[in-house]
Amino acid sequence: MEFRPCIDIHNGSVKQIVGSSLRDHGDSAKENFVAGQDAAFYARLYQTYRIRNGHIILLNPAGSPYYEETKKQALAALAAYPGGLQVGGGVTPDNAGEFLDAGASHVIVTSYVFQDGQVRYDKLQKLAASVGKDKLVLDLSARVRNNRYYIVTDRWQKYTDVELTEETLEIFSSYCDEFLVHAVDVEGKAEGIEAALVSLLGDWGKIPVTYAGGVHNYEDLKELKELGHDRVHVTIGSALELFGGHMKLEEVLAYVRGAESSP
């Protein structure tokens, strides 16, 4: 298990939000934390601690009046830590190259490869061919419906008809290098992890996968490590001291790495 940091950007600012509250209409979201520092500050901090493969997420759609400022923040963070961070949010074959050229190690994609709730394998193949499988992360963030996990798109607002299962993971793994999975129903709430989802990811475990959602103490990390069979990586947002929480970055790194960590 590795710690994978995050930089979520909404309305031009680094924030921690309640994932299920995000709405494109009015560019609104319930905020847990709004940073006084810019995205590049966090990128440099992660570089100092030698933490790689974190994700920058643009939480405004391309048509938003805030999109350009959000994108500007993302590009500045990539420039501050070249090759150290992944980036997602509205990525298509048309703009993926810009983010990679700006320093992203990978681009993260969901919405582009789904249409009317279904997987568009033609788009997925086009994207993998354009970007390269080794630079593509598929965001398979999920929400519960009828006691099953379904992939959600468009900044977690729209359900697809695609259930997240070991079979789904197996199929998608042939197109990408890693998965990113937000447990959207608990994202930003710091009330505990989605144990069933972590178990699913850990039981499959054939390529790197990063889980995000609900971690708020070391018991959660222990449970995630056990259920994920030590091969599911973790992101911590609102519970991290950096974002107004109580978990210190140094202590999280020491716990996850199993050794003392200092910059």
Per-residue pLDDT tens over the stretch 88-132: 999 999 999 999 999 999 999 988 998 888 999 999 999 999 999
Asked if 142 and 185 touch (Cβ cutoff 8 Å), the reply is no
Residue 156 — very low, low, confident or very high, per pLDDT cuts 50/70/90?
Answer: confident
Residue 217 — very low, low, confident or very high, per pLDDT cuts 50/70/90?
Answer: very high
258 to 52, 126, 215, 239, 253: CA distances (angstroms): 17, 41, 18, 20, 8
**Mean pLDDT comparison of 7-21, 72-86, 237-251, highest-scoring range:** 72-86
Strand-strand pairing, 31-34 and 54-58: unpaired
Q: How many CB atoms sit inside 10 A of residue 262's CB? A: 7
Angle 13-240-76 (CA atoms, 0-180°, nearest 5)?
Answer: 35
